[in-house]
Chains A and B, each alone.
Chain A
Amino acid sequence: MRTLTLSIDGSDVTVPEGATLLEACKKAHVDTPTFCWAENLTPVNVCRICVVEVEGARTLAPACSRKAEAGMKVLTDSERVRHSRKVVLELLGSSVDMSLAKDFAPLRQRYGADPKRLAGETVAQPVKIDNDQFVRDYSKCMLCYKCVEACGTDAQNTFAIAVAGRGFEASIATEHQASLGDSACVFCGNCVGVCPTGALMFKTEFDLREAGKWDESRQTVTDTICPYCGVGCTLTLRVQDNAIVRVTSPSDSSVTGGHLCVKGRFGLGFVGGRKP
């Protein structure tokens, strides 16, 4: 394997050829925030929270997709980078409900972002509940495209959803805004698995949250193997009060890279459905 060496924040780091700046940052122990990136999806670099400064470049570069080059000098905490990340956080925080987005609050602190500064129009809208498997709360959608990628070429190849509309009207939509049941959706829930903001949520989790009963302090998380077919997908079972409330799969699973089908993701009701 051929390698190359670049500098990140003044320290040299050596990575395999073809590695991204994000991978180089990781190797250099530089914590780089991401929203739209996932290790099991192709980078679409839309969220811009991972931008870094490459010496000699006119614009900031998204670390998630920019390939590392030999001799590159990269700054991840310069004034330009901090300012850009701060504004991204403010734009997102002022228009999208980021309350369930992992790491959003600490990032706001880290970059001193004040979303209220840009308060105004938002993407708030009613929650879409049209099936028993998962709900779509697009008030929480930051249009990171992860669900579109997972539904498309990165995992399911179903292409049930895409972005429709422009500006504040832009949202993830099925063809002709059909309900999921009437769309091409096959209910694999891989979109739910990759959603970083809680816009896509298990119905069980949504109902518990609505009832004020979702309590992560009472939850356990256990990895096991799906009880259905011979593929052998790893299931991460989140359990509260002895009930399975959410099913995901680790993105580094050697078998399916974190993607599941409808049976493993949503078909475990038989476990809790048994009467003692």
Chain B
Amino acid sequence: MLKAVRRGAKLYVVDPRRTSTCEWADGWLPVEVGSDISLSNGIARVILEEGLQNRAFIARACEGFEAFAQNVEQYPLARVTKETSVDAELIRRVARDYARADRAMICWTLGITEHHNAVDNVFSLINLGLLTGHVGKWGSGLNPLRGQNNVQGGGDSGALPNRLPGFQDVEDDAVRAAFDAKWGRPVPPKKGWHLTDMFHAMERRELTALYVIGENPAQSEADARHCHALLNGLDCLIAQDIVMTKTCEMAHVVLPATASFCEAEGTVTNSERRVQRVRKAVQPPGQARDDIEIISELSRRLGYELGLPSAEAAWDEMRSLSPMHGGMSYRRLEQLGGIQWPCPDESSPGSPFLHGRLWADPVEGPRAPFQVVHQDPPVEALDADFPLRLTTGRRLDSYNTGVQTGGYVSPLRQRETIELSPVDAKMLGVHPGDTVRVSSRRGNVTVEVAIDEHLKPGLTFMTLHAPDQVDVNQLTIDATDPKSGTAEFKAAAIRVEKL
């Protein structure tokens, strides 16, 4: 992004906090936490008001425009400014620059998706892309920046409750038939549960055994106390990981695994859908075994012989069943330095961008739908008992619950803190380094104070990187998005007390 900025691209940053990216931006929009839809709809309204929409694109490739336009009519700048706290002129400038740009991109991360209305937040951004035609073209588009090196690949290969490899619908009989034939066993015909569904099923005692691979829910889930109670209530918890995580400590069985990026062969898929090879560089310690070996052994003991396929053999099987991976042999992945899906056959160079079909004449496939979405503030409103907004996030040198980054001493890492605005710190009578108790309706932690001079009054910030020191998920709320299942990590109501 900074390379593009240096070449003259404009950059606007929408973030309640002033991040280092803002230093390079043409404008910083310090939105209120959870006001994203108001902002998007407000930008859309300005674009329409000034006639900057891409009429030709909307007419040829989209549907649902009228209802969308009617809806955003309810978001005049006076309202949007009130809800977002962003200056009206700045919003107008963003709308004009985005709409008038030859090519423009919207990139986002968890600030959009860790909300109770995550999917609607994303829809509101997609609407802007469709409105201006900034989709389906080189250098344009909508880009969720992935936070893990293979979160894309996990979903691509069927680690989703309703999908088989290649995003194929598990409830489609024809799709399942191909897998049934390959595996010689019927694939369950109904979709399963996503993470949040699973926790609800644990509450109902419908789910009593859990096999966790490479995830640390004991520390990564919102409302940790509730999560622990559910995990402790399981009849059987199996944890497969590379280090002894908190989840492993709670498990009945721990299966030590290899670090897949350097102790095993395989592939990962990055944020731009590029499938890339990972290779074995070191020997794993002790009894740690390759994930494929563990799963094969488990399967054998459950009565189904998988053999012991190499990573490449497993990959080739997936290529034979997932059309979008068809042309990605290991040989080609090596030659081309990774390939972006879809890549249906060995003559395909892969696809640097998606949705180009919307520009084909006539448009290929279904039209792209506008979505009507409404501003809906965080589930937990601020009140006299819990008057401050806690938003959680990450720091450059650390990663999630610290399972991996806990293994090195970073000179950038400070002690875990709660960041307060100067105004709130003064009102509370606290100084940097003071210890405070932070409480929400679900739990409390004690933590040191730091001051972020750019934070607006009422907003506080913590990370989830050091749960052994400060378990921030004691505070977070497990209000989840009904479609994605993601919890509202970005917005809890808290109280801070000087100790």
Contact = CB atoms under 8 A, between A and B. Distances in A.
A125 interface: no
Interface string B170-190: 000000000000000000000
Interface in A227-269: 227-232, 234-235, 237, 239, 242-244, 253-255, 261-263, 266-269
A57 interface: no
Contacts of A224: 261-262, 277-279, 281
A153 interface: yes
B397 A270 contact: no
Interface string A61-83: 00000000000000000000000
A181 B411 contact: yes
A222 B281 contact: yes
B261 A225 contact: yes
A150 to B, nearest CB: 13
Contact of A255 (B270, B277, B279, B399): B270
B337 interface: yes
B404 A222 contact: no
Given A186-B396, A228-B149, A133 B259 contact: no
Interface string B385-415: 0000000000011110001111111111000
A270 B274 contact: no
Interface of A is mostly: loop
B279 A254 contact: no
A127 to B, nearest CB: 17
Given A224-B281, A225-B261, A244-B262, A268 B408 contact: yes
Contact of A229 (B148, B282, B406): B148
B276 A274 contact: no
A54 interface: no
B411 A131 contact: yes
A228 B286 CA distance: 24
B151 A133 contact: no
B210 interface: no
A220 interface: yes
Interface residues of A, number: 45
B285 interface: yes
A218 interface: no
A29 interface: no
A239 B281 CA distance: 7
Contact of B337 (A157, A242, A253, A272): A253
B270 A228 contact: no
Nearest to A131: B411
Interface string B141-174: 0000111110110000000000000000000000
Contacts of B285: 274-276
Contacts of B286: 274-276
Interface string B321-344: 000000000000000011000000
- Find the residue from A224, A263, A269 having the highest chain B CB count within 10 A: A224
B282 A242 contact: yes
A267 B408 CA distance: 6
B301 interface: no
Nearest to B276: A225
A230 B288 CA distance: 25
A263 B397 contact: yes
Contacts of A230: 145-149, 151-152, 270-271
Contacts of B398: 263
Interface in B99-153: 145-149, 151-152
Nearest to B256: A274
Q: For the side of the interface on B, what is the size category?
A: 35 or more
Interface in A85-99: none
A48 B412 CA distance: 37
Contacts of A275: 285-286
Nearest to B275: A232
Contact of A232 (B149, B259, B288): B149
A220 B281 CA distance: 8
B316 to A, nearest CB: 19
Given A230-B270, A270-B403, A225 B278 contact: yes
Contacts of B396: 186, 261-263
Interface string B279-298: 11111011110000000000
B212 interface: no
B407 A223 contact: no
Interface in A184-216: 186-187
B448 to A, nearest CB: 19
B261 A274 contact: no
A157 B2 CA distance: 8
A77 B262 CA distance: 45
Contacts of B404: 227-228, 267, 270
A270 B337 contact: no
Given A157-B2, A222-B279, A232 B338 contact: yes
B372 to A, nearest CB: 30
A206 to B, nearest CB: 16
Contact of B276 (A157, A186, A232, A272): A232
Interface of B: 2, 6, 24, 145-149, 151-152, 242-243, 259-263, 268-272, 274, 276-283, 285-288, 337-338, 396-399, 403-412
Given A222-B280, A227-B261, A230-B270, 17 more contacts: A132-B408, A225-B277, A225-B278, A228-B399, A230-B145, A230-B152, A232-B270, A237-B281, A244-B281, A255-B338, A263-B399, A266-B408, A267-B397, A268-B407, A270-B404, A272-B282, A276-B287
Interface of A: 131-133, 153, 157, 180-181, 186-187, 220, 222-232, 234-235, 237, 239, 242-244, 253-255, 261-263, 266-276
6 shortest A-B CB distances, which residue pairs? Answer: A230-B146, A232-B270, A270-B407, A276-B286, A230-B271, A222-B281
6 contacts: A132-B409, A224-B279, A244-B281, A270-B259, A270-B405, A276-B286
